[in-house]
Structure 1
Amino acid sequence: MTELPFTSIHRHGLVRVGAARPRVTIADPAANADSIIALAQEAHARGADLVVFPELCVSAYAIDDLHLQQALLDLSEAAIARIVDASNDLRSVLLVGAPLRRNGRLYNCAIAIHAGTILGVVPKTFLPNYREFYEKRWFASGHDQCRATITVAGREAPFGVDLLFAAGNYADFCFHAEICEDLWSPTPPSTAGALAGATVLCNLSASNITIAKADERSLLCASQSNRCAAAYVYAAAGAGESTTDVAWDGQSVIFELGEEMAASKRFCRDPGVIYADVDVRRLALDRMRTGTHNDAASFAGQPETRFRRIQFNLDLQDGDTGLIRKLRRFPFVPNRPERLAQDCYEAFNIQVDGLVRRMEATKAKHLVIGISGGLDSTHALIVAAKACDLMGLPRSTILGYTMPGFATSEGTKANAWKLMQAMAVGAEEIDIRPAAQQMLADMRHPFAKGEKVYDITFENVQAGLRTDYLFRLANQHGGFVVGTGDLSELALGWATYGVGDHMSHYAVNTGVPKTLMQYLIRWTVESKQFDAETAEVLTAILDQEISPELVPADENGEMQSTEDKVGPYALNDFFLYYTLRQGQAPSKIAFLAWHAWRDRNLGNWPGAFPEKNKAEYDLPVIRHWLENFVHRFFVLSQFKRSAIPNGPKVLAGGSLSPRGDWRAPSDGTASAWMSDLATIPRS
């Protein structure tokens, strides 16, 4: 779909869905048709591709025996005819609920309407007949209806529970319809629909409200969307339904892979539609990545062969309709404060547990860590401290070494000492400059002759010596080296091969991206994992510029900046998430990053980094750093990742272990990704 402009959601595999909340009138199909058409016109104006209405919204749901009245059923068909005619001028596919007659039976139906035609009619399978429900008094189940047709308002249409509706001109957009109680059953019909290829599952519902039932609905929708690797669009009845014995809240929700994308205001008297742009391309990629989904289809006897695919043509957007989608600037970081604390607790303890097990297995006497005063070594140290606490070992089991080089600042060195002293670990300093000077002289490097040549050799001599010391110190003290390098550095190849940020005996940080690490350290402060003195040092370390400190400050006193070289970690982690976890193309990633970062006012994520939350990046900047990321990730870095030590996986978003989540050739190319990246506008 590259012929569509970059700003079009349809170029990037997104579909705009809506869940409508019409105000119904009891047993008045004409008035209800007016309400449905008005909301359909609004959805058309908002660029919706699919709009789901509540169950029996043409007649109203809570009308009991009136469903069996000839006059009402005739008027319902007339109302449907009006809605079909009105759809001639609308781009959206409409899913409308109505009672329909066929062969002496009455069915509770979902009617798919598009561009002046009835695409098909799906009857309800599971009819509730307990407590306040008694649908079997009026309706027949459609469970046995397949390969059938129905005549509605003089129009013949496919009828049955074997219908899928697929866009013939837009890959991966295929939807399935089920009705209310169908979702509450142990075997929802939408499961078979998803296994047959539907990426969007729709539910027309008239679920009445009782205390805590809204949570139950959300749980069911979330779990079904997650289990089926699908989007789930749920529209429930609201204002206007009879409250003779029950009440209605009009809850509408849209989920994608278990994550809530949109939710309506409940108990609202005004009609309306909620919208979300669901990513059907992502869903298709996720199913390809998860063999269980295809195995389930095989075990179920290939449901695809049992369904009829009804095709329609989607009106592809060739303009900028915005993006109606919750986007996390920091996708590795939860965006709800209560979830943030829970995830930080789990991430931290995953690392601690991994290190404890390694200590038990090796029976090591000591843990050896190089402490620079930066983020990574700080986090490795606090993980090690908690591991010792958990095992009942003194913190002096940890041997911390600060190893100043030619560019070590007094601030980071001081923080390293303060941290080691506050945590009561073994602390020593080894000045690597004499050894580095000797090595550079032996190599006839210009720096040894007094020249200010700060090349990669100059940097790596220092990095390599620190690692040499740590490994030999581990030998000397019967311990092992705890690695400090993180997931973001591994992705970018921002690690010198064979030295401390790449090589160790156990790498506790390899599953933690830089953006999450900052929140983890902040969480240990706010949750009082350590005493006040330690918390004060941790806070000071968080406020520092991220720097390898291998090159002396320039004439203006500016220190070497990692992010000036490899790009903002906020963007790099965004790129990494959509590359590693979702397998998205660079042009799609740029589109999402542009919507997430182009407006500084979007930065409302929790945490203690307002300056990063409020950053703003335009498309040329995103494109520049994305090109840098693609080159580093696919070309420069895999040979390093192929040789990394063990370390615990932390995030469901993936890891880069060659033994776990990520397997790739060390000598690959990035031509496919660069070709796609070239389609991103430069302005």
Structure 2
Amino acid sequence: MTDTLRIALAQINLHAGQIEANLAAIRRARAEGARLGADLVVTPEFSVGGYQPEDLVRRPDYVAACEAAVATLAADTADGGPGLIVGGPWRDGPHLHNAAFVLDGGRITTRRAKHELPNYGVFDEKRVFDAGPAPGPVSFRGFRLGLMICEDWWYPDVAETLAESGAEMLLSINGSPFEDGKPARRIDLAVRRVVETGLACVFCAMVGGQDEVVFDGASFVLNPDRSLAVQMPFFEESVTLTAWTRQGEILVCTPQPPAKEPDRLASIYRCLVLGLADYVRKNRFPGILLGLSGGIDSALSAAVAVDALGPARVRAVMMPSPYTGQHSLEDAAACAHLLGIRCDTVPIAPAMGAFDQVLAPLFQGRQSDTTEENIQARSRGLILMALSNKFGDMLLTTGNKSEMSVGYATLYGDMCGGYSVLKDVYKTTVFDLCRWRNANHPPHALGPTGPVMPDRVISKPPSAELKHDQTDQDSLPPYAELDAILAGLVEAERSVDDMAASGFDRATVLRVWRMLDRAEYKRRQAPPGVKITARAFGRDRRYPITNGYTELVA
């Protein structure tokens, strides 16, 4: 019996429902593993079908196609090369499981069903899958591997069962989305599993964007002494060979130099770039269109778009009104120049005049108010959607999480679009990201290496410019205060009284809470966007639109 095992960890970019493309990606990973001398190639959770499949798994034809792909991959392993671990659906009588398959010698040697099904945040696997029993180790070429599927790894029971059943290591295949601060939490969790079991822990993760979630890769190995033996790249596809030696009744991994972990702002920015790039690529849009106002949100959105797709695939439109300042025209033009993108100008004054004329008989005797301001935003939305329809580019909205939290956005106006790259980014983080990007060039970014926006875009007071001398702070608390309150109300679900007790002005907190509640109907109609926090609007946070509770919090 050999005492050495070589495992290639394949963190690959998968595509939900695109089974043939996933099959090809797995085959490429196996070929690379064979070139590196691997005995086994491990792919992420649900690698054959693409994660998250959601209700695709309710379709018998989809499940059958995944099963056929697993059988095809199993047949591939008859060539004497490395074995495979892949993920996909498994029909077991009346039950449907999220499963892992061990493929070797031309056949499926073992199946394991996911035991712990996540049912929180972006996950609702209990709707579509049945939980499997607590698993025992799987045998592979004389080794006993403690195979787990993502959520199984987050709780101690499965790991302890595997250790008690004779596993020589823990091997977890994952579909774990990125969140701000999550890489450190994963390491902390792995340390717990190692301490509890005395076994090395492998975390093999996918990379890439799928709708609103982004998988950051960052696969790693912790040895039984809790040392970090392997750290794979962040936000990049990679196939990495790990070498294992049996020491007594456990396996130990040979350490190798780790990939560098990006800092917080770099991680968030790379998440935005990858999420947007994959959304455009996987949905086969030719490029991106966005409104460029001369403000900070559209400047950052444009920078992310160019870094994701390159300047040739990004088109901007400046749509000045009579309230647009000269500095905004200059700053928008400077942003476009720095990014190397086309920027057209379409004045909206004629559209505003046309709406004024059409509506004058109905509005007679009434003063101008936010109605006319919203007409400006909706005129811009109409122009942008017309250009998107005519040329096929996806319209990118540019609003941030602070605005969407309190409804500081116009339905069918600046909320028009197919995707929102800043949807889960608070305004204070927008400022931080702009400063960071002006000073840094992310790995593999397709945009310029120097600054991407003028300093004035970052330093001037934010304004929607829908009336003379308007600033955001005319309607909202200062963003530093607003974002701190929102973080408590949204991410932490703290009460108004609790926030007031911690030092915030109670009247301001109550005002923000009421704006947050009233804006739910707008958020339900907002486009999808990149998730970076633990409580992104949408599936992470589900509040009723018709909600009388806010009126009780006085």
* Contact 1:368-1:480 within 8 A present in 2 as well: yes
For residues 481-560 of structure 1, the aligned pairs below 5 Å read 481-500=395-414, 502-528=415-441, 531=448, 534-535=451-452, 537-552=453-468, 559-560=469-470
Residues 225 and 631 from structure 1, CA distance in 2 versus in 1: closer, same or farther, beyond 3 angstroms?
Answer: farther
What letter matches 2:537 in structure 1? L
* Contact 2:405-2:516 within 8 A present in 1 as well: yes
Where does residue 645 of structure 1 map in the other structure? 527
Residues 341 and 223 from structure 1, CA distance in 2 versus in 1: closer, same or farther, beyond 3 angstroms?
Answer: closer
SS state of the match for residue 666, structure 1?
coil
What letter matches 1:626 in structure 2? V
* Contact 2:402-2:426 within 8 A present in 1 as well: yes
Output one character per residue of 1:336-380: Cα deviation in whole Å (capped at 9) or x when no partner: xxx997111111111111111121123222211000011111111
* Contact 1:400-1:425 within 8 A present in 2 as well: yes
* Contact 1:380-1:509 within 8 A present in 2 as well: yes
Q: What is the CA distance between 1:510 and its match in structure 2?
A: 0.4
Output one character per residue of 1:297-340: Cα deviation in whole Å (capped at 9) or x when no partner: xxxxxxxxxxxxxxxxxxxxxxxxxxxxxxxxxxxxxxxxxx99
What letter matches 2:307 in structure 1? K
For residues 248-327 of structure 1, the aligned pairs below 5 Å read none
Residue number among 281, 292, 299 corresponding to 1:378 in the alignment: 299
Where does residue 674 of structure 1 map in the other structure? 553
Q: What is the CA distance between 1:673 and its match in structure 2?
A: 6.1
* Contact 1:630-1:670 within 8 A present in 2 as well: no
* Contact 2:287-2:309 within 8 A present in 1 as well: no
Is 2:344 the counterpart of 1:428?
Answer: yes
Unaligned runs of 5+ in 1: 1-190, 193-218, 229-338, 390-394, 553-558, 595-618, 676-683
Is 2:541 the counterpart of 1:662?
Answer: yes
Q: What is the CA distance between 1:425 and its match in structure 2?
A: 0.7
* Contact 1:366-1:474 within 8 A present in 2 as well: no
* Contact 1:367-1:482 within 8 A present in 2 as well: yes
Where does residue 472 of structure 1 map in the other structure? 386
* Contact 1:367-1:399 within 8 A present in 2 as well: yes
> Could you tell me how far apart the structure 1 residues matched to 2:515 and 2:192 are?
34
* Contact 1:419-1:534 within 8 A present in 2 as well: no
Is 2:280 the counterpart of 1:399?
Answer: no
Output one character per residue of 1:505-534: Cα deviation in whole Å (capped at 9) or x when no partner: 111110111111110111001224565874
* Contact 2:273-2:305 within 8 A present in 1 as well: yes
> Could you tell me how far apart the structure 2 residues matched to 1:453 and 1:396 are?
45
For residues 122-521 of structure 1, the aligned pairs below 5 Å read 223=188, 342-389=263-310, 395-444=311-360, 454-500=368-414, 502-521=415-434
SS state of the match for residue 521, structure 1?
helix
Q: What is the CA distance between 1:453 and its match in structure 2?
A: 5.0
Residues 437 and 671 from structure 1, CA distance in 2 versus in 1: closer, same or farther, beyond 3 angstroms?
Answer: same
TM-score (norm 1): 0.41
SS state of the match for residue 428, structure 1?
strand
Q: What is the CA distance between 1:550 and its match in structure 2?
A: 0.2
> Could you tell me how far apart the structure 1 residues matched to 2:545 and 2:553 are?
18
* Contact 1:344-1:520 within 8 A present in 2 as well: yes
* Contact 1:373-1:416 within 8 A present in 2 as well: yes
What letter matches 1:492 in structure 2? V
Is 2:507 the counterpart of 1:624?
Answer: yes
Output one character per residue of 1:239-297: Cα deviation in whole Å (capped at 9) or x when no partner: xxxxxxxxxxxxxxxxxxxxxxxxxxxxxxxxxxxxxxxxxxxxxxxxxxxxxxxxxxx
> Could you tell me how far apart the structure 1 residues matched to 2:261 and 2:407 are?
28
Q: What is the CA distance between 1:482 and its match in structure 2?
A: 0.6
Q: What is the CA distance between 1:446 and its match in structure 2?
A: 10
* Contact 2:315-2:343 within 8 A present in 1 as well: yes
* Contact 2:440-2:450 within 8 A present in 1 as well: no
SS state of the match for residue 648, structure 1?
coil
* Contact 1:641-1:656 within 8 A present in 2 as well: yes
Residues 669 and 388 from structure 1, CA distance in 2 versus in 1: closer, same or farther, beyond 3 angstroms?
Answer: same
Where does residue 91 of structure 2 map in the other structure? none
> Could you tell me how far apart the structure 1 residues matched to 2:368 and 2:262 are?
42
* Contact 1:585-1:673 within 8 A present in 2 as well: no
> Could you tell me how far apart the structure 2 residues matched to 1:340 and 1:460 are?
43
Where does residue 69 of structure 1 map in the other structure? none
Residues 662 and 227 from structure 1, CA distance in 2 versus in 1: closer, same or farther, beyond 3 angstroms?
Answer: farther
Q: What is the CA distance between 1:648 and its match in structure 2?
A: 1.3
Q: What is the CA distance between 1:570 and its match in structure 2?
A: 1.1
Residues 489 and 480 from structure 1, CA distance in 2 versus in 1: closer, same or farther, beyond 3 angstroms?
Answer: same
SS state of the match for residue 444, structure 1?
helix
> Could you tell me how far apart the structure 2 residues matched to 1:468 and 1:357 are?
26
Residue number among 561, 564, 571 corresponding to 2:471 in the alignment: 561
What letter matches 2:459 in structure 1? D
> Could you tell me how far apart the structure 2 residues matched to 1:492 and 1:340 are?
34
Where does residue 82 of structure 1 map in the other structure? none
Where does residue 483 of structure 2 map in the other structure? 573
| % identity of equivalent residues | 23
Larger radius of gyration: 1
Is 2:472 the counterpart of 1:590?
Answer: no
* Contact 1:454-1:551 within 8 A present in 2 as well: no
* Contact 1:507-1:645 within 8 A present in 2 as well: yes
Unaligned runs of 5+ in 2: 1-155, 158-183, 194-259
What letter matches 2:548 in structure 1? T
Residues 402 and 453 from structure 1, CA distance in 2 versus in 1: closer, same or farther, beyond 3 angstroms?
Answer: farther
> Could you tell me how far apart the structure 2 residues matched to 1:666 and 1:464 are?
23
> Could you tell me how far apart the structure 1 residues matched to 2:510 and 2:440 are?
39
Residues 472 and 637 from structure 1, CA distance in 2 versus in 1: closer, same or farther, beyond 3 angstroms?
Answer: same
SS state of the match for residue 443, structure 1?
helix
* Contact 2:499-2:506 within 8 A present in 1 as well: no
SS state of the match for residue 427, structure 1?
strand
Q: What is the CA distance between 1:454 and its match in structure 2?
A: 4.1
> Could you tell me how far apart the structure 2 residues matched to 1:577 and 1:379 are?
21
> Could you tell me how far apart the structure 1 residues matched to 2:423 and 2:371 are?
25
Output one character per residue of 1:446-498: Cα deviation in whole Å (capped at 9) or x when no partner: 99x9x995411110111001001111101111111011111111110111112
